[in-house]
Amino acid sequence: MASYSAGNDGSQQGAPGKTYIKPPDDVLKKILTPLQYSVTQEDATERAFDNEYWNNKEEGIYVDRVSGEPLFSSVDKFASGTGWPSFSRPLEADNILEKEDNVFFIRRVEVRSRHGDSHLGHLFDDGPQPTGMRYCINSASLRFVPVRDLVKEGYGEYRALFAGRTSMDESKHHDMSGNTMKVKEGM
C-alpha cells in the first residue's frame, strides 16, 4: 500500500515495509505548508536557527515530510552550530540520494530522499568522527517521530536504537570537532 506523510496528526504516514511514494503535485500543495513545498519541491533553503528541528533534543527518528520514508535518527544528530539539523549518517542509507550540486559556482553535494524525491539539504565532509560527514538538513523536509510514537506510527523496528539510552538532553553527543560533550536542555 502506498503511503503519504503529512502532519503530526497520525494520518497519511509511512512506515517500514510500506511502499513510499511521492504524491501528485496537487496533493502536495494541499498537505504541505508553503515553506515545506518550497524546500522539498523547489530546492529552497529555510532560514538557519529559525526552523523546527535545529535544536530538537528529543529522541526519535526523522522521516521524509513527503513520503514518510525513514531518513535520520536522533542517535546520529549533533550540534553543528549551523542552525540546521545535522546528522553524521543516515538512518537508512538506501533512502538517501546524493547528487552533485554546482549552483552559484560552488561544488556541493545535494541530499534528496529516494522515494519522495524531496530536497533535504546538503552533505559536507566536516562532521564528527567516525564518519566525518555532516548531513545538513532542512527541518521543513522532515517530520519528527518521537520514540514514544514509533510503534503507533508504524516505525516500531527502530525502537531498538533507543533501548537503554537516556534522553538526548542527558546523553553524550559530539560537537563539530568530534569531541564528546554533554548536551543540556537549553543549549
Q: Which residues does the annotation mark as catalytic?
A: 136
CA distance to 62, 87, 114, 126, per residue, from 143 (Å):
6, 15, 16, 25
Long-range CB pairs of 7-13, under 8 A, 24+ apart, other chains included:
7/31, 7/143, 8/143, 10/152, 10/153, 12/68, 13/63, 13/68, 13/143, 13/153, 13/154
Contact (CB, 8 A) for 137 and 84: yes
